Amino acid sequence: MSAQLKDPSLLFSVREKVAVVTGASGAFGALAAQVLATAGARLVLAAGKAAELETAAAECRKLGADVVTVALRPNSEQDCEAIMQAGTEHFGALDILVVGSGLNDVSPIVDMSPERFENVMHGNVTGAWLLCRAFGRRVIEQGRGGKVVLVSSARGKLGHPAGYSAYCASKAATDGLTRALGCEWGKYGITVNAIAPTVFRSPLTAWMFEDNDKARTTRAGMLARIPIGRLGEPADLAGPLLFLASPASDFYTGHILYADGGYTAG
């Protein structure tokens, strides 16, 4: 019997692993950083706003993590290379990439300019592609495998009636990237998967949890499609993240893990 089966907690261990988290000052990125910090990982945190990034880093340091910060968004090949280089220079290696950076721009397609559409695609798809490229180059050379966790959405599978043509397209592309790299990097021992949530509590969605007519109406529409009967909480994403970042998912790659209470099952 393997050591991991004798002690199943080892299946979910990321202790001393080096994890790069982008969008680290955002809702999912900050959550991912804190989950990995609590689990004993060493962190490379990246985000565009330096002050907010340092706040996120301070929270992780309070949890005992060794943290290096890079105040860059994944907007270019140079920025993505710089993020990875900072990690290898500080820690000597990279093990995990969590792409928490991204954006949305809600508009009916007839009112949206091509530039706005391209901005969403760049932020959600091209940036993720560039990060994976920079991470993969280093981790393939290291020769010891690795983990990539992208952030998709239920909207990568389902449409939306309220002006989500750019966002839905970008998340469907994220799903395609996940599957393609899962196939391409299997021979290197690098797993590539995505977490696809529906609405979960964050500063951007806090209004949906309030007790007023607008929030109640919006919630009712969502809950009619969610078998679990509630909206998501940050803790609902912590378990899937740890699974995908740890040895527990070593035979799981190219998949989209829907953390949605059953929303996409119906």
Tokens encoding 51: 């002050």
Tell me which residues of the chain have a pLDDT lower than 50. none
Please pick, among 164, 167, 258, 263, the residue that the annotation labels catalytic: 167
In a domain, 144, yes or no: yes
Residue 181 sits in the same domain as residue 86: yes
Give the per-residue pLDDT at 1.
59
* Structural domain span for residue 221: 203-231
In a domain, 265, yes or no: no
Residue 225 sits in the same domain as residue 243: no
Residue 212 sits in the same domain as residue 124: no
In a domain, 31, yes or no: yes
Residue (of 7, 23, 36) closest to 246 by Cα position: 36
Give the per-residue pLDDT at 258.
96
pTM of the full predicted structure?
0.94
In a domain, 264, yes or no: no
Residue 119 sits in the same domain as residue 220: no
Residue 97 sits in the same domain as residue 216: no
User: What contacts 73, CB < 8 A, 6 or more positions away?
Assistant: 22, 46, 47, 48, 79, 101, 127
Instruction: Assign residue 47 the CATH number of its domain.
Output: 3.40.50.720
**Residue pointed to by tokens 């959405």:** 153
Residue 85 sits in the same domain as residue 186: yes
Q: In the chain, how many domains are there?
A: 2
In a domain, 263, yes or no: no
Residue 87 sits in the same domain as residue 38: yes
**Catalytic residue at 164?**
no
Long-range contacts of 109-113 (CB under 8 A, 24+ apart): 109/163, 109/165, 112/163, 112/165, 112/166
Tokens encoding 251: 């035979």
DSSP code string of the chain: --HHHHSGGGGG--TT-EEEEESTTSHHHHHHHHHHHHTT-EEEEE-S-HHHHHHHHHHHHHTT--EEEE---S-SHHHHHHHHHHHHHHHS---EEEE---------GGG--HHHHHHHHIIIIIHHHHHHHHHHHHHHHHTS-EEEEEE--GGGTS--TTT-HHHHHHHHHHHHHHHHHHHHTGGGTEEEEEEEE-SB-STTTGGGGSSSHHHHHHHHHHHTT-TT-S-B-THHHHHHHHHHHSGGGTT--S-EEEESTTGGG-
Residue 132 sits in the same domain as residue 220: no
In a domain, 187, yes or no: yes
Interval 18-62: pLDDT, tens: 999 999 999 899 999 999 999 999 999 999 999 999 999 999 999
Give the per-residue pLDDT at 16.
97
